[in-house]
Amino acid sequence: MFITEIAKISAREIYDSRGNPTIETTVQLRCGARGVASVPSGASTGAHEAWELRDGGDRLMGRGVLQAVSHVEGEIAQTLIGKSPLNQRRLDETLCQMDGTENLSRLGANAILSVSMACARAAAAALHLPLYRYLGGLPAGKLPGVMMNVLNGGLHAANNVDIQEFMLTPVSAGSVQQAVRMGVEVYHALKSLLHEKGLSISVGDEGGFAPDIPGDEDALVLLEEAVRRAGMVPGQDVCFSLDPAASGWQDGVGGYQLPKRGRRMSREEIVEFFTELAGRHPLFSLEDPLGEEDFQGFARLKQALPGCLIVGDDLFVTNQARVQTGVAAASAGALLVKPNQAGTLTRAMDAAREARQAGMALIVSHRSGETDSDFIADLAVAMGADFLKAGAPARGERVAKYNRLMAIESELHS
Ligand code: PGA
Ligand code: ZN
């Protein structure tokens, strides 16, 4: 049996795609193998996410992660050096026990996740396995499809669009290569369309365009035109996945208010709004269409729209217990998996397994603040996820994930 142990753990402060500090950790093994991992960061975060530890104070607008770095190089390194990197669950449980809080706020979920992922990378390297095989064995079924965010509203754009993300979901693609190519062609068709209409082609945090258009439905009409311009048929070749991120629409007294249009809406009106929208446009999925505590509202919409995948992001925050609540209430058809909401790889994989056992789909996701890491592409393959959601097919930190998914596909075919 192959035996190795953790010899050294180091960490440093690096910068993410928004220019905010984040943590990168390196785990060095006795056998010579090493693993490096960095952690992304969200903007429209769920209230129940694991805790991202920031330094506060004046330095780097209070967003520095030097405390997290010192926790990794101090307490965590002292405990893990000499341990086997090959038992991910035991390592992650040790990290959680050391922290001692439920949301990992003492050592910082960013510190803990960086170690959890770097250990997995080091172990895979020691065993000479690609990361997806180390985490999940040989992929049994189809590789994940893609959800590409190409048009932005909500908190991510200064326009009149309340829905945060409009994603392309190529549904007629026979391979990852083809799905990505279709997404790229529509992205470029959309760019030329916006340009012709005199609309802005500058891009937001996730690489999607943020044109100043009158409202949400105009965005869908534009996307349909872009799909046709790229020689494809909306609804047949490419469908649309929306992330309204409606936690941000809650008015604090049990109702909703669309922030841009200022319109007040009840839960019933939101359900009606999306049901009608789905009647007029090919909507593949709706992520967080209601508030993050509204398990019942989700269930109502799921019942009203059986043909559309209802996805829980802020609702579940990649948390096994919240997935159980959602399953009991029949709230959603899919779990969005963001490892940094969970804080360790094991916690993220447990939430995913819980969802899978209940027959839910899995969508592995980036954050709006990303690094050049392609870890989540391997994770999506390892989990047998249905989709990888990694932003537009533009900007290095976004395409790194799609390029890795294509590389895995080629590797599996050769
Ligand atoms: P975030 O946004 O990474 O800023 O949380 C993405 C999402 O809501 O899915
Ligand atoms: Zn979301």
pLDDT digits (tens, 9 = 90+) for 227-267: 999 999 999 999 999 999 999 999 988 899 999 989 999 99
Domain map of the chain by residue range? 6-128, 136-413
DSSP 3-state of 302: helix
Active site residue 338: yes
Which H or E run includes 365?
A: strand 361-365
> What is the average pLDDT across 82-98?
98
Q: Which of 206, 292, 354, 409 is catalytic?
A: 206
Give the pLDDT band of residue 138 (cuts 50, 70, 90). Answer: confident
Q: Return all residues near 2 (Cβ < 8 A) that are at least 6 apart.
A: 86, 126, 127
Q: Ligand 1 pocket, 237 CB below 6 A?
A: no
Give the per-residue SS3 of 60-79.
HHHCCCHHHHHHHHHHHHHH
- Predicted confidence at residue 254, as pLDDT, reads 83
Q: Which of 12-26, 147-161, 269-283, 327-341 has the lowest mean pLDDT?
A: 147-161
CA of 389, closest atom in ligand 1: 9
Q: Ligand 1 pocket, 116 CB below 6 A?
A: no
Which listed ligand is nearest to 311 at the C-alpha? 2
CA of 245 to the centre of ligand 1 (A): 8
CA of 367 to the centre of ligand 1 (A): 5
**Residues linked to residue 388 through DSSP beta bridges, in sequence order:** 146, 364
Q: Ligand 1 pocket, 245 CB below 6 A?
A: yes
Mean pLDDT of the chain: 97
Q: Rounded to whole angstroms, what are the CA distances from 242 to 167, 258, 295?
A: 6, 15, 18
Q: What is the pLDDT of residues 310-346, one digit of tens each?
A: 999 999 999 999 999 999 999 999 999 999 999 999 9
Identify residue 379 by its one-letter amino acid code: L
Give the pLDDT band of residue 155 (cuts 50, 70, 90). Answer: confident
Q: Which of 302, 338, 389, 401 is catalytic?
A: 338
To test the pocket of ligand 1, the residue of 317, 368, 376 to mutate (highest count of ligand atoms within 8 Å of its CB) is 368
Which listed ligand is nearest to 46 at the C-alpha? 1
Q: What percent of the chain has pLDDT over 90?
A: 94
360 vs 153, which has greater pLDDT?
Answer: 360
Compute the distance between CA of residue 48 and CA of residue 346 in angstroms, rounded to an integer.
18
- Checking if the pLDDT of 1 tops 80, the result is no
CA of 41, closest atom in ligand 1: 3
- Predicted confidence at residue 186, as pLDDT, reads 99
Find the DSSP H helices in 282-344. Answer: 295-304, 320-328, 339-342
Kindly indicate whether the domain formed by 6-128 is annotated with CATH number 3.30.390.10: yes
Q: Ligand 1 pocket, 247 CB below 6 A?
A: no
Quick one: 160 exposed, middle or buried, by C-beta within 10 A (0-12, 13-18, 19+)? middle
Compute the distance between CA of residue 11 and CA of residue 401 in angstroms, rounded to an integer.
23
CA of 314 to the centre of ligand 2 (A): 6
Q: Return all residues near 55 (Cβ < 8 A) that are at least 6 apart.
A: 62, 63, 64, 65, 66, 67
> What is the average pLDDT across 38-66?
97
- Predicted confidence at residue 72, as pLDDT, reads 99
CA of 25 to the centre of ligand 1 (A): 23
Which listed ligand is nearest to 390 at the C-alpha? 1
Give the pLDDT band of residue 13 (cuts 50, 70, 90). Answer: very high
Which listed ligand is nearest to 315 at the C-alpha? 2
CATH of 136-413, one of 3.30.2130.10, 3.20.20.120, 3.40.50.300, 1.10.10.10: 3.20.20.120
CA of 166 to the centre of ligand 2 (A): 11
Q: Ligand 1 pocket, 44 CB below 6 A?
A: yes
Q: Ligand 1 pocket, 42 CB below 6 A?
A: yes
- Predicted confidence at residue 309, as pLDDT, reads 98
Q: Ligand 1 pocket, 373 CB below 6 A?
A: no
CA of 1 to the centre of ligand 2 (A): 43
Residue in the block written with tokens 């537009």: 392
- Predicted confidence at residue 221, as pLDDT, reads 98
pTM of the shown model: 0.98
* Pair 6, 85: CB distance under 8 Å: yes
> What is the average pLDDT across 109-113?
99
Active site residue 206: yes
> What is the average pLDDT across 68-76?
99
Sheet strands (E) in 163-277: 165-170, 238-243, 256-257, 264-265
- Predicted confidence at residue 257, as pLDDT, reads 94
Compute the distance between CA of residue 122 and CA of residue 403 in angstroms, rounded to an integer.
22
- Checking if the pLDDT of 28 tops 80, the result is yes
Which residues hold their Cβ within 5 A of ligand 2, which is an ion?
243, 287, 313
Q: What is the pLDDT of residues 157-190, one digit of tens each?
A: 888 899 999 999 999 999 999 999 999 999 999 9
- Checking if the pLDDT of 275 tops 90, the result is yes
Q: Ligand 1 pocket, 313 CB below 6 A?
A: yes
Take atom 1 of ligand 1 and give the residue whose Cα is closest: 42
